[in-house]
Amino acid sequence: MSITGFTAAGFEPVREAFERNFAEGLEHGASFAAFAGDELIVDLRGGFADRAGEQPWTDSTLCPVYSATKPIGALVIATLVERGKLDYDAPVADYWPEFAANGKGAFTVAEALSHQAGVPGFPDPIDPALWLDPPALSEALAQLKPMWGRGEGSGYHPLTWGYIAGELVRRVSKRSLGTILREDICQPLGIDFWIGLPESEHDRVAQLLKPKAAAQFPYKNEATRAAFLTPWAAANRGATEWRKAEIPSANGHGTAAALARLYSAYALKGRIGETRVIAPVTWDELTRERVSGEDRVLPGRVAFGAGVMRNLPLIYGPNPATLCHSGWGGSGAFGDPDTGLSGGYIMNRQGTHLLEDDRRSRLIDALYGCL
């Protein structure tokens, strides 16, 4: 199995861990990248981008990162908070009046972005194709009755989070969330990451190998059922229309280096390279803990800022202050303000765990072991 890329001097154990994942048959195609401050210290890739094992994974191979997209969408929201277009403490309904239906009028922007709004999915059937029409899906979402009350904790919103975020942006800006990300952050900084992937880029996307077993959910309650376990809980993920749609909760596409670079905004308190994306005070508001404890959907204790997870279970290295997020199948990324480290892991052989992935953990442990 061909491994390409590089590690900076002193970070060779990361390459050894990456190679071991392949040697043990855990990977088909994958990439891992990390920054220390502004320096790219790891950029590795290996295996194949196609299921047949004929197309090598290259530095331009894109991969969907699923829920690791959320903190990137949250970063865009933070830019609008900084400009006075949105207020974390204002009710969502101040910007989107229809969202107040059925008792949701008091939920704030920060509460919705920290998975507290009580609408993790649709309990009753919808046409799954509705997920590919964000305005229509948002209209249906606004009419839902919350499954729990304000101040009663979190229940992870795997897809609906992105439609709340996207609709908030649509209500206060002439540009969509994906457009703002592209025009204000990714294009100027040369970051190969997209929310809403143009069809011209689809040939670069890795083909996924779906897991042979179903994901393991800790609960079989109403919230988990609506979030994940109904036939209408998602559209056809991976189809052309899915890639093209802007779904800030689930369909970001990028390289590992691009993912790590965007998460450096979490490691460097709002800065990516020499560009300040948000001020430190806005970073504080974005990342501070909004809710913690037992989640209704995810396993164990979790903690959320306004769209980003805090490293409460210490999945992403040893520092509790690290900001992070996992994606369906095993992808994930983190930014550690204590060390200035950020990293991103993408792959096309999907696993079944919701938060942890042994392959990713092995790489992150090796990275911290080099410090």
Per residue in 223-243, pLDDT (tens digit) is 999 999 999 999 887 789 999
The ranges of the chain with pLDDT < 50 are none
Of 349, 337, 330, 237, nearest to 283 by C-alpha is: 337
| CB-count burial class (<10 Å; 0-12, 13-18, 19+) for 46 | buried
Q: Coil, strand, or helix at residue 292? A: strand
Sheet with 309-310, edge to edge strand ranges: 3-7, 39-47, 29-36, 341-347, 332-336, 323-326, 309-310, 301-304, 291-294
* Residues with a known catalytic role: 67
CA distance 108 to 91: 4
The token pair at 37 is 């401050």
Tell me if 213 is assigned to some domain: yes
Of 190, 345, 182, nearest to 274 by C-alpha is: 190
Of 215, 236, 210, nearest to 128 by C-alpha is: 236
CB 140 within 8 A of CB 118: no
Tell me if 151 is assigned to some domain: no
Ramachandran region of residue 269, left (φ > 0), alpha (ψ -120 to 50) or beta?
left
**pLDDT value of residue 238:** 73
Q: Tell me the CATH number at 11.
A: 3.40.710.10
- Helix (H) or strand (E) run with residue 276 in it: strand 275-276
Tell me if 59 is assigned to some domain: yes
**pLDDT value of residue 220:** 85
**pLDDT value of residue 235:** 87
Domain total in the chain:
1
**pLDDT value of residue 239:** 82
What φ, ψ does residue 367 adopt, rounded to 5°?
-60, -50
**pLDDT value of residue 360:** 98
Tell me if 170 is assigned to some domain: no
Q: In terms of residue numbers, what domain contains 318?
A: 3-78+175-369
CB 13 within 8 A of CB 57: no
**pLDDT value of residue 28:** 97
The pTM score is 0.97
**180-199 confidence digits (pLDDT tens):** 999 999 999 999 999 999 99
Task: Specify the amino acid at residue 95.
Answer: Y
CB 281 within 8 A of CB 270: no
DSSP summary character for residue 290:
-
DSSP summary character for residue 246:
-
Of 248, 253, 245, nearest to 307 by C-alpha is: 248
Tell me if 323 is assigned to some domain: yes
Tell me if 264 is assigned to some domain: yes
